[in-house]
Amino acid sequence: MEDEEESLSSNPINGGTQSESLDRARQKKHVAMLERLASRHQTRLENSLKSAETDSSSSSTLGFESTSSFLSRFADSRRSIEAQIAQCRLTNPSESTQLKPQLDSISASISDLEKLVAENSYFLPSYEVRSSLKAISDLKQGLESLSSDLVPKKKFSFKNKAPKKEREKDPSIETNREKEKEAEIGKPEKMSFRVLESPGFRDKKGEVLVRRFSGSEIGEFTISDLDSCEVRLMGCVRALFVHRLRNCRIYGGPVMGSILIEQVEGCVFVMASHQIRIHHAKATDFYLRVRSRPIIEDSSGVRFAPYCLSYEGIHGDLQEASVGEETGNWANVDDFRWLRAVQSPNWSILPESERIGLINISNSDNEAEEI
Amino acid sequence: MGLLSIIRKIKKKEKEMRILMVGLDNSGKTTIVLKINGEDTSVISPTLGFNIKTITYHKYTLNIWDVGGQKTIRSYWRNYFEQTDGLVWVVDSSDLRRLDDCKMELDNLLKEERLSGASLLVLANKQDIKGALTPKEIAKVLNLEAMDSTRHWRIVGCSAYTGDGLLEGFDWLVQDIASRIYVLD
């Protein structure tokens, strides 16, 4: 506040150097300004006196940027709020007409106190800021518990909690009911899925399944429930879903989006993609080219090697799917069941001596040739 | 009045929104966030843990928490529930087989008390893939109409690959949160 007054007192001197005609209006302004500042100064003095009265022990002059003065002011307000809360608790809840304004005024003083901390936080040691904020949150909690104790229940709806308690009391009935509900909802939906089934190979045993994708039918493709089959996919596809395979060999052209593999055992996959996720795989070899890191989850005995597929036009397809270049990511496997720095025991790099050679699936009538 | 008004005042000052992105793995959460932010989406690894993006959207600051969706780490979603203003549930509309899982996880999420006040945006992603279910079909499968009437929700079809529908969805979400939190005095 001293700065303000200094700059003010220097103003008339500057004004004196100006021409007389401008001066009159200016002087009027100055006078008005002086009056305003004087009244502000007065109120400030009163305020500081007041706070000095309430706390006789503190040094009565309140300088700015002083931690001790802040702390004493903070402690005063805090004590007065606590006193108000305590008083509220003592008053009979039946006098609830006065209660609401009382609670409101307490909450207003708490927010004032919060403001005080915020305004002074720039010079306070961080410990003081933290402890003040803690004190404020304690006050808020006190107020909250006070109002929940005193204010009629309907204003504070605990509707969400009530049914939860019931459920906790009687879990068996509730979960059964939920299961029934889910079953009811689930049935008609599953029926509609069957109708909507996406293109794919399903429920086959001991067959060679070949599919050549052309530009017009780029979409998703599903391979599921196969046993001892060989699958050859040529051309680009947007997404590939693989589910429940045993002893299969899957040779695939590039997938532009992601591949999701679940529940496979004793298989060999040769695939290229943007993303690959492998869940519940056992004893399976993957020959991959991936733009990002492949991941495995709940898998064991899976081994990885680089992509090794060939068919007529594969280079164009790989370019189109942005997997034209080897990224080396086939070896950067993340195991979500092994979040440690040491190598996961669930996967390994396939030793070069055990890898298959380049697979050519161009001639789709015969068995895939290993070159 | 009271605590709520104080919270509102603080939030109003910051104009910040906390948005939680969740959904099954492979639904495209990270791709959506990067696409909105105008970043390269060609190389994205499955999220191990979480990503935070702070995006200025109109006059608001969005803190988007993109949390990995692999089964193993779904149990950690709850660590991110606190103080969530907006919930984005991302669905892979082409993954028909796992829609049951998707519905179950969403139902569990919506039971969560800490998320009870959050606006819900369901993004039916991958609409660009041939054979994907439409937003209407997804809404039916997830039984969204049966949701608690106090919940603000909306489903929007989108493609993180092309970017279609993303702004429509986030426009609604941000407007809805803004009208809820930053109520004019």
B97: in domain: yes
pLDDT at A43: 76
pLDDT at B6: 78
Q: Could B3 and A189 be called an inter-chain contact, meaning their C-beta atoms sit closer than 8 Å? A: no
Lowest average pLDDT, out of A51-55, A150-154, A229-233, A283-287, goes to A51-55
Report chain A's mean pLDDT, rounded to a whole number. Answer: 78
Calculated CA dihedral for residues A296, A302, A306, A309, nearest 10 degrees: -100
Calculated CA dihedral for residues B54, B56, B60, B62, nearest 10 degrees: -20
pLDDT band at A182 (very low <50, low <70, confident <90, very high): very low
Choosing from B7, B9, B46, B70, which is the catalytic residue? B70
List residues of B whose CB lies inside 8 A of any A CB.
Answer: 1-3, 5-6, 9, 25-26, 42-46, 48, 70-73, 94-97, 99-100, 104, 113, 116, 126, 128-133, 140-141, 143, 161
Q: Could B130 and A217 be called an inter-chain contact, meaning their C-beta atoms sit closer than 8 Å? A: yes
B102: in domain: yes
pLDDT of A187 > 60? The answer is: no
Give me the number of domains chain B comprises: 1
Lowest average pLDDT, out of A45-59, A265-279, B30-44, B159-173, goes to A45-59
pLDDT at A339: 81
pLDDT of A293 > 50? The answer is: yes
Q: How far is CA A42 from the centre of its chain?
A: 51
Instruction: Tell me the per-residue pLDDT of B120-164, one tens digit each, with 9 for 90 and over.
Output: 999 999 999 988 999 999 999 999 998 888 899 999 999 999 999
B95 vs A38, more confident: B95
Instruction: Tell me the per-residue pLDDT of A113-129, one tens digit each, with 9 for 90 and over.
Output: 887 887 777 778 888 88
Lowest average pLDDT, out of A40-44, A90-94, A150-154, goes to A150-154
Q: Could B95 and A241 be called an inter-chain contact, meaning their C-beta atoms sit closer than 8 Å? A: yes
Cα separation of A221 and A250, whole Å?
Answer: 13
Cα separation of A5 and A7, whole Å?
Answer: 5
Tokens of B176: 């809805």
Instruction: Tell me the per-residue pLDDT of A95-110, one tens digit each, with 9 for 90 and over.
Output: 666 777 788 888 888 8
3-state SS class at A133: helix
Termini Cα distance of chain B: 11
pLDDT at B79: 92
Concatenate the DSSP letters of all residues of A262-324 into one string.
EEEES-EEEEEEEEEEEEEEES-EEEEEESS--EEES-BSEEEEE--EE-TTHHHHHHHTT--
pLDDT at B57: 87
Cβ atoms of A129 and A113 within 8 Å: the answer is no
Cα separation of A202 and A178, whole Å?
Answer: 32
For chain A, what are the domain ranges?
68-150, 200-360
- Say what the pTM is: 0.64
Lowest average pLDDT, out of A166-170, A267-271, A353-357, goes to A166-170
For residue B131, the distance in angstroms to the closest alpha carbon of chain A comes to 6
Cβ atoms of B43 and A292 within 8 Å: the answer is yes
B46: in domain: no
pLDDT at B53: 94
pLDDT at A157: 52
Tokens of A206: 């001991």
Q: Could B48 and A295 be called an inter-chain contact, meaning their C-beta atoms sit closer than 8 Å? A: yes
B78: in domain: yes
| Of B87, B88, B161, nearest in space to B130 by CA | B161
For residue A359, the distance in angstroms to the closest alpha carbon of chain B comes to 27
Which residue's structure tokens are 């493609």? B159
Cα separation of A308 and B50, whole Å?
Answer: 33
Active-site residue flag, B70: yes
- H/E/C letters for each residue in chain B? CCHHHHHHHHHHHHCEEEEEEEECCCCCHHHHHHHHCCCCCCCCCCCCCEEEEEEEECCEEEEEEEECCCHHHHCCHHHHCCCCCEEEEEEECCCCCCHHHHHHHHHHHHHCHHHCCCEEEEEEECCCCCCCCCHHHHHHHCCHHHCCCCCCEEEEECCCCCCCCHHHHHHHHHHHHHHHHCCCC
Kindly state the average pLDDT of the residues B31-50: 93
pLDDT band at A331 (very low <50, low <70, confident <90, very high): very high
pLDDT of A275 > 50? The answer is: yes
Report chain B's mean pLDDT, rounded to a whole number. Answer: 90
Tokens of A28: 């009027």
User: Which long-range contacts (C-beta less than 8 Å, at least 24 apart) are formed by A335-344?
Assistant: A335/A295, A335/A296, A335/A297, A335/A299, A336/A295, A336/A296, A336/A297, A336/B48, A336/B70, A336/B71, A336/B72, A336/B73, A337/A296, A337/A297, A337/A298, A337/A299, A337/B72, A339/B48, A344/A296
Which ipTM value was assigned to this complex? 0.88
pLDDT band at A152 (very low <50, low <70, confident <90, very high): low
B143: in domain: yes
Instruction: Tell me the per-residue pLDDT of A155-169, one tens digit each, with 9 for 90 and over.
Output: 455 555 444 444 444
Q: Could A143 and B46 be called an inter-chain contact, meaning their C-beta atoms sit closer than 8 Å? A: no
What CATH number corresponds to the domain at position B153?
3.40.50.300
**Helix A126-150 and helix A67-90, axial crossing angle in degrees, nearest 10:** 10
Tokens of B77: 């979603």
Other C-beta atoms closer than 10 Å to the C-beta of A348 total 13
Total count of residues recorded for chain A: 371
Tokens of A142: 């006190």
pLDDT of A175 > 70? The answer is: no
- Strands of chain A, DSSP E: 200-205, 208-212, 220-227, 230-234, 239-246, 249-265, 268-282, 285-290, 295-297, 302-306, 309-310, 334-335, 347-349, 359-360, 369-370
Range of the domain at B57: 18-24+31-36+51-183
pLDDT at A185: 44
Cα separation of B50 and A226, whole Å?
Answer: 35
A200-360 placed in CATH 2.160.20.70: yes
Kindly state the average pLDDT of the residues A167-175: 46
In a mutational test of the B interface, the residue from A187, A241, A244 whose CB has the highest number of chain B CBs within 10 Å is: A241
Biggest distance spanned by C-alpha atoms of chain B: 52
Strand partners, A275: A258
Phi, psi of A354 (to 5 degrees): -100, 0
CATH architecture assignment, domain A68-150: Up-down Bundle (1.20)
Q: pLDDT exceeding 90 applies to what percent of chain A?
A: 39
B2: in domain: no
Cα separation of B33 and B42, whole Å?
Answer: 13
